[in-house]
């Protein structure tokens, strides 16, 4: 039974607020690169042509059941134009890769803490995007090229996706993405290697930099998603905690992250937070987060998660996409049943994979179709 957009919106909103909807909503994490290959298009050609990605998404939504989705691919046009050293289209198909970079040197922490945005413009951008900092008019023109390419490709993609979502009644539950303040410092500013040393050598400056970053993330969230509401949510992938000692997480990561989430949820936003890897050590902290969070888990057992935080937070994730690649259709369905039986009772649950499906080899389409249809039919609340 196909649902209307209104029915889907209603049940997703109920699930997010930890209520019991009519059914378990099925959330798609099949990325555009998967849709392109599923539709039989050339990956490189399609990544340069947002209208081709939209056509591929149309085919995917026609064949593979879902109630909601939402994504923003990394377009090679943008990164070729801005000359990024942090996001680099790979030679064979222009799928964008992310090497570890360090845009801020350890001795530049104080400059960053004093005025983070000024430091980003003056110091970090020239290091990660040297073409934007070329002398004279070249640098200005390259900034304009970067901004124009960004606007052109994203506006075409978003308009096309909106039309396809309307056609299929699929709900976009994501608008805008930000980072936890610590991850913002860790990712492109200091890099994984740099931040790992800084935590031990100079935790005071790390904390000051993290605290200085929080207002930037708050401001960015409100610009990217100007109308607070239950959906669409603001996406926030969390990167570093599973690599940190608990005592460092408690001091350096948690306070600014919690405040940012609480402030935005307090203003009426939903935060879709991707708890990457294993969060077992941190369940007691997560209990402090407010209702209005979609807690998206990768490795955590949703039965345990449900017991620990399921009364306050809407949970989703943990269906292993490796099964979609390696297992039989029946084994895939059995796993879906196992997870739904653990996570769905009482509501507050969205069915979803444990991570984004990027490549056709990540998931056999027949398995993805079978699992999505099974959950839609099986996940009915009595």
Partner 1 sequence: MEFKSEMLKYWDDEPVAGYKVEEKDIVMDPLNNVEDALFAFIMGLMY
Contacts with partner 1, residue ranges (CB under 8 A): 82, 84, 103, 115-118, 120-121, 124-125, 128-129, 146-147, 150, 177-179, 184, 187-189, 214-216, 218-220, 223-224, 259-260, 263
d(CA 25, CA 29): 13
Least CB distance to partner 1 at residue 153 (A):
12
Least CB distance to partner 1 at residue 219 (A):
4
* Closest to partner 1 by CB, 115 or 334: 115
- Structural element, H or E, at residue 349: strand 349-350
Least CB distance to partner 1 at residue 138 (A):
17
* Closest to partner 1 by CB, 114 or 163: 114
Least CB distance to partner 1 at residue 299 (A):
23
Phi, psi of 315 (to 5 degrees): -115, 150
Strand, helix or coil for residue 280: helix
Burial of 107 (0-12, 13-18, 19+ CB in 10 A): exposed
Least CB distance to partner 1 at residue 216 (A):
6
Confirm if 314 and 17 have CB atoms less than 8 A apart: yes
d(CA 261, CA 221): 11
Give the other-Cβ count within 10 Å of 317's Cβ.
Answer: 25
* Closest to partner 1 by CB, 146 or 352: 146
* Closest to partner 1 by CB, 123 or 327: 123
Confirm if 285 and 262 have CB atoms less than 8 A apart: no
What is the DSSP pairing of strand 171-172 with strand 68-69?
A: parallel
* Closest to partner 1 by CB, 5 or 262: 262
């Amino acid at each position: 039974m196909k649902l209307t957009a209104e029915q889907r919106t209603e049940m997703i909103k109920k699930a997010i607020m930890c209520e019991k909807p009519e059914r378990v909503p099925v959330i798609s994490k099949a990325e555009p690169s998967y849709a392109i290959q599923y539709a039989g298009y050339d990956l490189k050609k399609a990544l340069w042509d947002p209208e081709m990605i939209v056509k591929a998404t149309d085919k995917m939504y026609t064949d593979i059941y879902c109630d909601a989705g939402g994504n923003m691919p990394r377009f090679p046009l943008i990164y070729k134009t801005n000359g990024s050293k942090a996001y680099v289209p790979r030679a064979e198909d222009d799928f964008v890769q992310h090497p570890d970079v360090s845009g801020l040197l350890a001795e530049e922490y104080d400059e960053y803490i004093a005025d983070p945005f000024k430091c980003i413009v003056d110091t970090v951008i020239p290091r990660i995007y040297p073409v934007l900092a070329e002398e004279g008019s070249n640098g200005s023109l390259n900034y304009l090229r970067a901004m124009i390419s960004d606007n052109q490709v994203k506006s075409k993609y978003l308009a096309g996706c909106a039309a396809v979502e309307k056609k299929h009644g699929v709900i976009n539950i994501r608008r805008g993405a930000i980072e936890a303040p610590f991850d913002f410092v860790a990712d492109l500013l200091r890099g994984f290697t740099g931040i790992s040393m800084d935590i031990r050598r100079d935790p005071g400056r790390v904390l000051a930099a993290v605290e200085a970053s929080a207002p930037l993330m708050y401001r960015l969230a409100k610009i990217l998603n100007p109308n607070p509401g239950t959906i669409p949510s603001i996406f926030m992938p969390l990167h570093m905690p599973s690599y940190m000692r608990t005592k460092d997480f408690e001091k350096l990561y948690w306070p600014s992250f919690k405040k940012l989430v609480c402030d935005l949820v307090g203003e009426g936003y939903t935060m879709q937070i991707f708890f990457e890897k294993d969060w077992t050590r941190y369940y007691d902290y997560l209990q402090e987060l407010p209702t209005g969070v979609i807690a998206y888990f990768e490795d955590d057992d949703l039965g345990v998660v449900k017991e620990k935080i399921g009364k306050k937070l809407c949970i989703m994730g943990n269906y292993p996409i490796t099964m979609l690649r390696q297992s039989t259709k029946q084994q895939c369905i059995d796993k879906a049943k196992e997870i739904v039986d653990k996570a769905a009772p009482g509501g507050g649950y969205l069915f979803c994979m444990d991570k984004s499906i990027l490549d056709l080899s990540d998931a056999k389409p027949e398995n993805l179709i079978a699992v999505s249809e099974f959950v839609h039919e099986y996940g009915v609340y009595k």
